[in-house]
Amino acid sequence: MQNAVILINADKGQVKAVAERLAEVEGISEVYSTCGRYDLVAIARTCDFESLAELVTGRLNAVEGIRDTETLNAMQVHSRHDLETMFSLGW
């Protein structure tokens, strides 16, 4: 599984709508509406690097109301949870 953390600022008055749109995008696992420097943080979880690249350079750009994104690609994951199994089971 390939993970990325995407830091997002939305157009004014669009934070909630962008969060809902992003949560529908294939490959986006979760969207957090956050306090502080960024409006939203989305977690992308895809099967491999090519799928992540398609998401970030393609589907993400098609979401309306996004002002700025900065993708932090995960090189490694440390967790006591078995994230791969959990998310692939698609709860």
- Positions that interact with a copy of itself (CB under 8 A): 2-5, 12-13, 15-16, 19-20, 22-24, 29-38, 41, 43, 49, 52-53, 56-58, 61-62, 66-67, 70-83, 85-87, 90-91
Q: How far is the CB of 43 from a copy of itself (least distance, A)?
A: 8
For residue 53, which phi and psi values (nearest 5 degrees)? -60, -40
Distances, alpha carbon 91 to alpha carbons 46, 52, 85, 87, 88, in Å:
15, 21, 10, 7, 8
CB 41 within 8 A of CB 34: yes
Shortest distance in whole angstroms from residue 13 CB to a copy of itself? 6
